[in-house]
Amino acid sequence: MKLNYLLLDVFTQERLKGNPLAVVCKADGLLDGEMQAIAREFGLSETVFIQKPHGERNTALVRIFTPMVELPFAGHPTVGAAVVLGLQNKVSAVRLEEKVGLITALFERSDKRSGEARFGLPRLPARIAALNDKLILAQALGLEVEDIGCGVYQPGVYSAGVEFHLVPVRNSDALRRLERNMQIWPLAFPHGRQSVYVFTTTPDEPDNDLAARMFAPGMGLGEDPGTGAAAAALIGLLSEHADIGTGQADFVLRQGVEMGRPCRITIQLRKDSDVLVHGGIGGHAVIVGEGVLDLDD
């Protein structure tokens, strides 16, 4: 069996920046264990497998794997898959079947190797639990208790398909200097796969509104350069404090800067009578390479 694959950088317009992604095309017939092994072989935060859809009106079925686990939903694989399919099919919208549900992504071509995709969340974020012990959060992140919290934002666990511990910190300096204490990490972050999204507002940065870092040891990842699923969960916390009643709020979030892999993620939320009714994630992606997996004996 030989399978074509593409390598992309996602949440960026610049090659060798952003979050790397492998997209395996025409992956029908692969067993779950084979897809997991291929994802482990690539060693990237996520690998996407594109298969034939179940629904006639849909573009593709998409499976998403980290080196350790399959995910029901992830943002940068969704953006990357949408850009690949938009370029290949020369369409302005694609319908993706993911385990979390059906996702419609709008696509805009930049050139023959890059474009931008935006999609509405198939599952709106929900609050799972509070995180009230700021001392253990600070200890797990190598910060002071006074660093935990940012304005109206307080820690909590949210999910838009994947659970994240959302921890606001007071400024970008605290975000930059945090250091993980893995000995107490499971005690501080007990939910799901112990994934943590540390974020802050950036009023002094003209190009973005928010900055974040993401760590997911339970997914086989260290630090992730750009995490759409975490940004989707963050929409839940942002919406609770978005004083818009009925209307829309847009944010630009940077991630990966501390790793030298800057990502730019666009976030959109819409409320009706102070209830969240829509969340959206978007970003650019650019193809940086291609190859063939040779799985013949």
**Catalytic annotation present for 46:** yes
Amino acid found at 23: V
List residues bridging with 49 in a β-sheet: 24, 63
Check 41, 46, 56, 205 and give the catalytic one: 46
- SS3 state at 156: strand
Instruction: Give the single-character DSSP code of 145.
Output: G
Residues with a catalytic annotation lie at 46
